[in-house]
Structure 1
């Protein structure tokens, strides 16, 4: 994960540090570590696709998606919002299975529940270059 391009961060220090751990779980492509941040009834939506609902569905679908590339690295640009509801603007750097590298702008909206677990993520990015 890259944070040196981060211009605006509206999260408190504890919330920011927690979010970095969450993103590191994503970047490590460790589905078990990632789902520890999710509420049981979490919903994840990518672009205009149907949402993934519940940890089990998220584990299966994201796990399958993560098989389509070797590496993911978030390059954080801006984080707007509150400690409970925020949006990340980033560039996601992918290393594909053939070693080719592609970088794609992305935005992710995240909402936490009362226990600090992710209850909803909506991310918007054009992953066409990952599958080209």
Structure 2
């Protein structure tokens, strides 16, 4: 079962609420999504994640496993993306984050292959 913070993080993401998601971050927090450029600061994270949300029609995270060690969390996920063409695709992912002394995320990394999400329809 996922911890409260993990549940709240993915509830905000699944609601496609970039602002709510960015509020989990420290002012100088950093997010790296896949092989994308790092986003630094809550404002940049909200903008970047919000832009990503425009490329899909929805998404849902299913927590497979979660490991929490002190300020570090690792979450194994199955993520279902609803594509703009009406199809859905589920891909594995891992999210890793670190909390600062105020329990805000200061470093968040998402490891995922999004190629199936944007592959041409066959």
On whether the aligned pair clears a TM of 0.5, the verdict is: yes
Paired position in structure 1 for 2:108: 121
Equivalent pairs, count: 119
1:46 corresponds, among 33, 58, 61, to: 33
Residue 77 of structure 2 is matched in structure 1 by 90
* Pairwise CA RMSD: 1.3
**Can you list the C-alpha shifts for 1:32-59, whole angstroms capped at 9, x where unaligned?**
1111111110100123332111111111
Shift of 1:83: 4.6
- TM-score, normalisation: structure 1: 0.84
TM-score w.r.t. length of structure 2: 0.91
> CA separation in 1, counterparts of 2:43 and 2:110?
19
Evaluate the alpha carbon distance shift between residue 20 and residue 83 of structure 1 in structure 2; reply closer, same or farther with a 3 A threshold.
farther
> Runs of 4+ in structure 1 displaced over 3 angstroms?
none
Ranges in structure 2 where 5+ consecutive residues have no aligned partner: none
Partner of 1:108: 95
Matched, 1:64 2:54: no
Higher RCO structure (Cα 8 Å, ≥6 apart)? 1
